[in-house]
């Protein structure tokens, strides 16, 4: 079994978690305390991102956990940002043992000297059911876009050093096209936040019924009913969502836009399996039924 070893870029398999829980704590971090501070921080950042992205549950993810994770992420990002701005004061620090009050919160850490390695962000993960729900009820909602933008934001945050965002920029633009001020936070009517800062919405937004007021005023009457379907699990939801997104984007939807949908739609939604590949058949059947 492969273990996550810093510097080797090999990720721990999910099954290893169970082993490590039963057998103790073989964590690389804890067993090699001599790891330089930037690598320690990088390790924690990677884990943070991984945990935030892996909320693929049929139940609502815990808000408590999401808040703690995002606070940790913010703290690390803030620190890295400060380092970008103030490389000189930190490089001057030579005291290897001392706890540094100002910017290095970790005891015994070496002062960061080199730019941090930015991990390749993983491909868009399987959706949480919450985001699927947002997609179904409000096709233009930030379900996918905000996760996208959260990646964009994080990678953009470290934009000087990062590889280009994993997703086409049309995804971000698309979000702006759909809705100007609506968001998943229902009281948030006046705030036009930039498309990039939606990362938390995807975590916290599942708890809120999206405020449909601004959504309604933005769209034409017909558009409103184009997507809202009376049957929650009608497969036509997916077709309508897919067809809805397709014409709007300035670039014809590449595989990238459809891939996440096929990934998430192949998840068993409480026993209901909907396969994108079956949709064409289903369409055909529906046509026959309706006409008969």
26 binding another protein? (CB under 8 A)? yes
Among 38, 39, 41, 152, binds another protein (CB under 8 A): 41
- Which residue from 33, 44, 38, 34 is spatially nearest to 4, judged by alpha carbons? 44
Cα angle value 277/281/284 (rounded, 5°): 145
Q: How distant is the alpha carbon of residue 11 from its chain centre?
A: 19
Spatial neighbors of 213 by CB under 8 A, at least 6 apart, are: 189
Residues making up the chain, counted from first to last: 292
Q: To the nearest whole angstrom, how small is the minimum distance from the Cβ of residue 291 to another protein?
A: 30
**Binding status of residue 22 toward another protein by CB under 8 A:** yes
Kindly state the smallest distance separating residue 242's Cβ from another protein, in Å.
Answer: 18
Contact mark string toward another protein, 147..176, x via CB under 8 A: ------------------------------
194 is an interface residue for another protein by CB under 8 A = no
**Does 132 sit near another protein (CB under 8 A)?**
yes
**Least Cβ distance, residue 68 to another protein (angstroms):** 5
The token pair that represents 93 in the structure block: 């620090």
Distance (Å, rounded) from C-alpha 174 to C-alpha 5?
38
- Residue 290 CB, shortest distance to another protein, in Å, is 25
* Cβ at position 134, least distance to another protein in Å: 8
Q: Which is nearer to another protein, 22 or 220 (CB)?
A: 22
Residue whose CB is less far from another protein, 209 or 251: 209
Task: Look up residue 69 and give its two tokens.
Answer: 């994770």
Of the two residues 41 and 151, which places its CB atom closer to another protein in the complex?
A: 41
Residue 182 carries which DSSP code?
A: -
Rounded distance between C-alpha atoms, residue 242 and residue 232, angstroms: 16
Q: How far apart are CA 165 and CA 169, in angstroms?
A: 8
CA 130/CA 229 separation, integer angstroms: 18
CB count within 10 Å of CB 284 equals: 10
Residues that bind another protein (CB under 8 A): 12, 17-18, 20-27, 29-30, 33, 40-41, 43-44, 47, 51, 58-60, 62-65, 67-68, 71-72, 75-76, 99, 101, 105-107, 129-130, 132-133, 136-137, 184-185, 187-188, 191, 193, 197, 200-201, 204-209, 232, 269-270
């Amino acid at each position: 079994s492969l273990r996550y070893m810093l510097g080797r870029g090999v990720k721990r398999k999910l099954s290893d978690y169970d082993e490590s829980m039963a057998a103790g704590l073989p964590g690389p971090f804890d067993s090699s305390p001599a790891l330089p501070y930037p690598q320690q921080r990088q390790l924690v950042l990677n884990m943070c991102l991984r945990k935030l992205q892996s909320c693929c549950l049929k139940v609502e993810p815990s808000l408590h956990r999401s808040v703690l994770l995002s606070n940790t992420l913010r703290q690390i990002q803030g620190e890295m940002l400060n380092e970008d701005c103030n490389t000189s004061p930190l490089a001057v620090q030579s005291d290897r043992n001392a706890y540094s009050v100002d910017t290095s919160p970790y005891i015994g850490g070496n002062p960061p000297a080199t730019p941090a390695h930015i991990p390749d962000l993983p491909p868009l993960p399987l959706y949480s059911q919450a985001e699927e729900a947002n997609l179904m009820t409000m096709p233009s909602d930030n379900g996918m876009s905000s996760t996208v933008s959260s990646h964009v934001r994080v990678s953009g945050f470290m934009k000087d050093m990062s590889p280009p965002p994993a997703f086409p920029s049309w995804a971000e633009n698309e979000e702006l096209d759909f809705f100007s001020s609506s968001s998943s936070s229902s009281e948030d009517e006046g705030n036009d936040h930039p498309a990039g800062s939606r990362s938390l919405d995807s975590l916290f937004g599942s708890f809120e019924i999206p405020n449909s007021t601004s959504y309604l005023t933005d769209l034409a009457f017909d558009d409103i009913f184009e997507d809202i379907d009376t049957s929650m699990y009608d497969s036509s939801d997916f077709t309508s969502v897919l067809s809805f997104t397709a014409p709007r984007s300035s670039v014809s939807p590449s595989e990238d836009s459809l891939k996440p949908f096929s990934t998430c739609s192949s998840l068993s939604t409480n026993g209901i399996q909907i396969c994108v590949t079956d949709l064409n058949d289903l369409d055909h059947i529906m046509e026959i039924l309706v006409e008969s």
